[in-house]
Amino acid sequence: MHRMRPLLTTLATGLLTACATPSDPITQPVASIQAVVPSYPLAARRYGIEGNVRVHFCVLPDGRVEDVEARQSSGSALLDAAAVDAVRRSTFRPAQTLSGRRVRSCGSVPYRFVLE
């Protein structure tokens, strides 16, 4: 039986600040409160499927996550779905501007699924 080891690299890499203005710039980027580690799908383990997935997502001012999708597929729908589910179940503190206003921000996170 294979042991699974999903590796989670930096959550919320490359966040964008689409809702900030030059006079009220982002001073606190989105932060992960609880990063959920994806479950390695049993069928993917059974068949020795490994891969990398990059998941795009947006965090709303109230901290909810939306627009979650695999932008760079692993080539396996099973791994892609597990990574998307992990981002959906993660919790975030929204980005804030200099004035303290919470704003919508989008970014992506890479996941690497490796069997040992």
CATH number at 4-115: 3.30.2420.10
In 10 A of CB 68, how many CB atoms?
16
- Asked whether the predicted pLDDT for residue 2 surpasses 90, the reply is no
- Asked whether the predicted pLDDT for residue 17 surpasses 90, the reply is no
Mean pLDDT of the chain: 85
d(CA 111, CA 115): 13
- Asked whether the predicted pLDDT for residue 21 surpasses 90, the reply is no
Residue 116: pLDDT band by 50, 70, 90 thresholds? Answer: confident
Helix (H) or strand (E) holding 84: helix 77-89
- Asked whether the predicted pLDDT for residue 12 surpasses 60, the reply is no
d(CA 102, CA 63): 9
- Asked whether the predicted pLDDT for residue 31 surpasses 90, the reply is no
Q: What is the pTM of this model?
A: 0.80
d(CA 43, CA 112): 17
**Nearby residues of 83 by Cβ (< 8 Å), 6 or more positions away:** 38, 53, 55, 70, 74, 111, 113
Task: List pLDDT tens digits, range 65-84.
Answer: 999 999 999 999 999 999 99
Structure confidence at residue 48 (pLDDT): 95
If you average pLDDT over residues 94-111, what whole number do you get?
Answer: 92
Domain boundaries, the chain: 4-115
